Amino acid sequence: MAFDFERLLDESVKIHGHLCAGQVLGVKMSILGLSLVGIFDPKGIDRKDIIVYVEIDRCATDAIQSVTGCSLGHRSMKFMDYGIMAATFLNLKTRTAVRVIAREDARDKAAHYSGIANPYEAQLMAYKQMPNEELFYTMPVTVNVPPEDMPGRPIKRIQCARCGDYVQDMRHVGIDGQDVCKACAFGGYYSK
Distance from C-alpha of 37 to C-alpha of 92, rounded to nearest angstrom:
10
Confidence of residue 115 (pLDDT cuts 50, 70, 90): confident
Number of residues that make up the chain: 192
CB-based contacts of 58, cutoff 8 Å, min separation 6: 22, 85
Residue 177 pLDDT: 93
Which one, of 16, 52, 21, lies nearest residue 34 by Cα?
52
The pTM score is 0.91
Distance from C-alpha of 51 to C-alpha of 34, rounded to nearest angstrom:
10
Residue 111 pLDDT: 81
Q: What is the pLDDT of residues 3-46, one digit of tens each?
A: 999 999 999 999 999 999 999 999 999 999 999 999 999 999 99
Q: What is the pLDDT of residues 68-95, one digit of tens each?
A: 999 999 999 999 999 999 999 999 999 9
DSSP H helical segments within 52-160, as ranges? 59-68, 105-114, 119-129, 132-135
Q: What is the pLDDT of residues 162-186, one digit of tens each?
A: 999 999 999 999 999 999 999 999 9
* Domains of the chain listed by start with CATH number: 5-146 (3.30.1330.130), 153-186 (3.30.60)
Describe the crossing of helices 5-16 and 21-37 by its angle, rounded to 10 degrees: 130
Q: What is the pLDDT of residues 47-58, one digit of tens each?
A: 999 999 999 999
Confidence of residue 117 (pLDDT cuts 50, 70, 90): confident
Q: Across residues 111-116, what is the average pLDDT?
A: 81
Q: Is the pLDDT of residue 1 over 80?
A: no
